[in-house]
Structures are given as structure tokens and as C-alpha cells.
Amino acid sequence: MSTDPLSALLNIINTSTNELQSLYTKNGSQFPSLDATYKPGPLDEDAKAIELSKLVVAAANQLIATVRSPKDTLWELVPSMYMSAAIGFAVDVDIPEILNEAPNKSLQVKEIASAVNCQASHVGRVLRYLATRHIFKEVTPDVFTNNKLSSALIKASGKTVGELQAKPLEKYENSGNAAFVGHIVGEGLRSSSSMVDFLKGSGKGANSPFNMAWGTDKRLWDWYAEPGQGWRFRRFVAAMQFVAQTYKDTIFQNAYDWKSLKSTDVIVDVGGNMGTVSLAVAKMFPETKFVIQDLPPVIEGAKTFWKANFPEAIENGRVKLEAHDFFQPQPVKGAAIYFCRFIIQDWPDADCIKIMKRIREAANPSSKLIFFEIGIPYACADPTKYEADVERRTAPFPLIPNLGKGGGSDPTSVDMTMLNLLNGQGRNVGQFIELGNATGWKLTSVKNDELSIITFSAA
Ligand SMILES: C[S@@+](CC[C@H](N)C(=O)[O-])C[C@H]1O[C@@H](n2cnc3c(N)ncnc32)[C@H](O)[C@@H]1O
């Protein structure tokens, strides 16, 4: 193994790319071209292909950071808000769909501008900025087409441009990636403009950058319930449903030895929304029984969801849907498992402590508490000796152990979103131990899949 960082990075890129190509060759296919539109492929979810791709991305980014002048790197990274704004604009005016519907799949800037009713010079500049960063392709001067990345922004609902433009407030429903872009740019970009002021005055002023930027004291969900914000709420729900879908059922099916539960044992999905995690486990393990809890309007939606996806489970009582505020006393006493996915990261410590205490008060000595969260690994090796069984992240020299930008769905970026919109927080192992110590739970294990699986026992 080379001890020279540049050679070691090149070696990782070479060997991992070769292995990745071999996987495709064995599969009878070729690695998809950046110029082709995106189509889901058989190796998209292959664990080995994902691992190799992460290594290539981590090493390539570290190589760029090493060889590029600091000035050039910083001048590219600092104005990242233009990237958010440019993608947000393209998605909001339906440019990926407009190009997709064009007879030869490409259009002159003037034609695109006319279709979106904006100035041609503006549209051309935005598309060139994006194409320079491999989102869209400029095929000949001022003519653009979709490529792998821009085509992944086509709204998944399959609506035509005419349908999208006829009902603009509904365009993000069931739209996949586009809903995520719409939410992050729509609420997040403006909120982030207050982040520096929020950080400098933390604890004294507003509850979050979102609160400062939008001039509201309400939490994001309560603000969504205000008159006129319904379309944003529906876009947020679509974004969250899309995010949830990206996590494979096997993460949850393998997270615990569900078969070891007794027929009388109950599993509580706290803040479960539609209960998609429960659905994944319920389908695979027919003996399991669930109570899915969320706020009343969400539980109403969950009834429709289960009717469509697994009606027998509701009819035979295996799955119960229950309106419950997790800051209030937990009504299900002595459950075998209480679990929460993407709940703790939404809240500051003081609120997490309340949520965990309410569950602990209802738990019995053998109850377990499981969190599925975007755990935040350090950007260095973690030398801490934990009592719990903690799976460590490692990476070959000279990569940083969390793989930097190769680290899958980008935990530190999710952490920034939590801070920006909710004053929530992605947490590391030590921070979960502290939450447990404050609430009567003892951390027993941390496993890492695309999510971290954090398990506590009653202390
Ligand atoms: C990020 S979502 C996660 C949903 C679900 N666990 C999942 O992974 O799909 C957060 C959930 O917390 C719910 N929630 C927010 N405040 C709540 C409260 N006080 N009591 C119960 N649920 C709440 C929201 O309605 C939403 O469904």
C-alpha cells in the first residue's frame, strides 16, 4: 500500500472503478453514461456496487481537494447557494420535463425560455451554470438536453408539462426527487440566509434559522398548518415519502431479531407517520404486532395508507393506528420494543429528553428502545472505548473514516438541514449515550447501514 496520499487516492479510484465496471460486465451491462437519461438499474441497490461507488466518490473528492488551489476550491464551494437556486428554479418551472417532451429531446434556450415564460438570457445562464456542473448537457451552443442528473429531476408523478402548469400548487405531489428539491430550496434556502445570525446569537433569539428568516415563532409543522401553506405541506409530505422510500426494507427487517418476540409482544412505532417501517417488518414477520402512533391528522392519512397496502393487518388487529402526542404519557405500557425513525434528529436535546422519558415511564425492565437515525460520524477515527457494542466506520488510507463526500446520503448535510429548519440535530454515539443517561435508557448497540440503528435497554 502506498504511503503517498496522492498515489493512494489514485489507487483507490483505479481499483474501485475497475471493480465497479467488472460488476456491470458480469451483469451483462455497461456502467450508465452521464450523457444518458437516468433509468433505475439492477445494480443500483447492490451492496458491493454502492460500496465501490462511495470509495470512488470519496477518493475523487479528496484528490480534488488536494490538487486544486485553495482559492479555486473555496471560490467554488462558498457560492453553493447558486446551485440550490439554479436547481430549484429549473425544477419549479419544469425544465427537465420540457426537454423530455421536446421532439428530439433538446431545445434552444429561446424555446425553453418561451415555454417557461422567463428571459432567455436568464434561462441560458442558469442552464450553463448547471451543465458546467454536469446537471443538463449543452449539446451545441445554447441548446440543452437532459442527462443522467437532470433527468432524475423529472417529476415522478409522470404528469405532462401541460398538467404541471395547469395546477402549479399540486405539481410536487408524488414527484420524487423534485419534491425534495422544492422543499429544500423553497423553505431551506431562505432559512439558511439567517443561519450565520442564528449561530452567532444562539440561545438568545429565535428558535431556528427558519424562524428568523420567515418571521414566525411556529415550528415548521405548525407553520405548514397556517392558511395558504397547504401546498407547501403537501410538497413536504411528498419529499418525506420519497426520502423514506429510498431506505430499503431490509434495513428494518435486519435491525432486530423480530422472530425472537413472543406472540403477546407489542412493537410501538412512535411518531410513525404512515408506519412504513412497521409495514416492512409486518410483511416479513407474520407474528409481529404493532401500534403506530402519530398526531391525529397524520393517523387519519395512515388509515388510508394501510387500507391500500396491508388491509388484513388492520382488520385482524395486528396493526393498530393510534393518535398520540409523544410529549404526553405513553399509553402503551410494557411494549417489547418502542422505535422511532427520524424523530430524535428533529428535536433539540431538551425535547428529546421529554420524548424518551415518556417512553421510559411506560416501558418495563425488558423493553428495548430503537432509533433509526442519520447518525453523524466524526470526520476522524473515534478512539472512545464504549461499553456498548458500537460498529466503527473505517476507510482505507488516506480517506477520512466517514468517507467525506462519499458517505452515502450525506449525514452532515442532513444535520445542517435539521439545524436550519428545526434546530434539530443529527447525533453521534456519545450524544445518544448522554440522552440515554438523562432518561433511564442504556445504549447497548449502534449498527450502521444507510441509517444508524441505535438500540437502548432500560437502565
Ligand atoms: C420526520 S417524520 C418521521 C415519520 C416516520 N417515523 C418515518 O420515518 O416515516 C416526523 C413525524 O413526527 C410526527 N410528530 C411531530 N410531532 C409529534 C408529536 N408531538 N407527537 C407525535 N408525533 C409527532 C410528525 O407528524 C411526523 O410524522
Measured CA angle at 118 (ends 114, 121), to 5 deg: 95
For ligand 1, atom 1, which residue shows the shortest CA distance? 342
CA gap 24, 42 in Å, rounded: 9
CA gap 440, 41 in Å, rounded: 46
In this prediction, residue 449 has a pLDDT band, given cuts at 50, 70 and 90, of confident
Q: DSSP strand E in 382-431: where?
A: 389-390
Least confident of 55-59, 244-248, 286-290, 441-445: 244-248
| pLDDT confidence of residue 204 | 63
SS3 (DSSP) at 90: helix
> Ligand 1 centre and the CA of 272: distance in Å?
6
pLDDT digits (tens, 9 = 90+) for 166-187: 999 999 999 999 999 999 999 9
Domains in the chain, please, with CATH?
A: 5-67 (no CATH), 76-154 (1.10.10.10), 177-245 (no CATH), 249-458 (3.40.50.150)
> Ligand 1 centre and the CA of 292: distance in Å?
11
Tell me the average pLDDT across 195-218: 87
* pTM confidence score: 0.94
ipTM score assigned to the predicted complex: 0.99
In this predicted structure, the answer to whether residue 144 has a pLDDT above a threshold of 60 is: yes
Tell me the average pLDDT across 82-104: 98
> Ligand 1 centre and the CA of 312: distance in Å?
24
Least confident of 13-17, 27-31, 144-148: 27-31
For ligand 1, atom 14, which residue shows the shortest CA distance? 271
In this predicted structure, the answer to whether residue 203 has a pLDDT above a threshold of 60 is: no
Counting atoms of ligand 1 from 1, which one is nearest the CA of 274?
A: 9
CB burial class (10 A; 0-12, 13-18, 19+) of residue 103? exposed
In this prediction, residue 450 has a pLDDT band, given cuts at 50, 70 and 90, of confident
In this prediction, residue 202 has a pLDDT band, given cuts at 50, 70 and 90, of low
| pLDDT confidence of residue 379 | 92
pLDDT digits (tens, 9 = 90+) for 294-334: 999 889 999 999 999 999 999 999 999 999 999 999 999 99
* Residues 116/117/123/127 CA torsion (nearest 10 deg): 0
pLDDT digits (tens, 9 = 90+) for 340-376: 999 999 999 999 999 999 999 999 999 999 999 999 9
pLDDT digits (tens, 9 = 90+) for 212-250: 999 999 999 899 999 999 999 999 989 988 998 889 999
Q: What is the DSSP letter of 330?
A: P
Mutation probe of ligand 1 site: the residue of 342, 370, 422, 452 with most atoms within 8 A of C-beta: 342
Average pLDDT over the chain reads: 95
| pLDDT confidence of residue 81 | 98
| pLDDT confidence of residue 404 | 86
| pLDDT confidence of residue 406 | 77
| pLDDT confidence of residue 409 | 67
Cβ(336)–Cβ(366) below 8 Å: yes
Mutation probe of ligand 1 site: the residue of 294, 328, 344 with most atoms within 8 A of C-beta: 294
pLDDT digits (tens, 9 = 90+) for 16-44: 999 999 999 999 999 999 999 999 998 99
DSSP class per residue in 212-237 = HHHT--S-HHHHHTSTT-HHHHHHHH
